[in-house]
């Protein structure tokens, strides 16, 4: 599958900063800005999948309140878990 990397990156940047909750906009927006240019195509697709996970599930997982089977164990999610604002 051929992806247009620049279009995907723009979509990811937009989605990461327009989540619906201010806390997740800040967390994901800053995470994406820091790492997006370091990611290869597979990482970008994993990041895109991350943005489809519900804010409440991501919030609980990030802050260690609850593990989730929805959260895959890949490079992008590991970087997010260790990301500090």
pLDDT digits (tens, 9 = 90+) for 28-45: 999 999 999 999 999 999
Give the C-alpha separation, 58 to 70, whole Å.
Answer: 9
pTM (2 decimals)?
A: 0.88
The answer, yes or no, to whether residue 1 has pLDDT greater than 80, is no
Residue 53, domain extent? 5-82
Q: In sequence order, what are the residues at sequence separation of 6 or more whose Cβ sits closer than 8 angstroms to the Cβ of residue 77?
A: 46, 50, 71
Residues 67 and 61 sit within 8 Å (Cβ to Cβ)? yes
Q: What is the dihedral of CA 39, 70, 80, 21, to 10 degrees?
A: 110
CA angle 58–82–7, rounded 5-degree value: 65
CATH code, domain with 11: 1.10.150.250
Count of structural domains within the chain: 1
Q: Work out the number of other CB atoms within 10 angstroms of the CB of residue 20.
A: 8
């Amino acid at each position: 599958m051929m992806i247009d990397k620049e279009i995907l990156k723009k979509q990811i940047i937009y989605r990461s900063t327009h989540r619906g909750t201010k806390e997740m906009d800040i967390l994901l927006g800053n995470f994406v800005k820091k790492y997006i240019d370091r990611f290869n195509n597979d990482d970008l697709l994993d990041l895109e999948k991350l943005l489809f996970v519900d804010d409440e599930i991501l919030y609980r997982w990030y802050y260690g309140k609850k593990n989730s089977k929805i959260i895959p164990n890949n490079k992008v999610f590991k970087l997010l878990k260790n990301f500090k604002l």
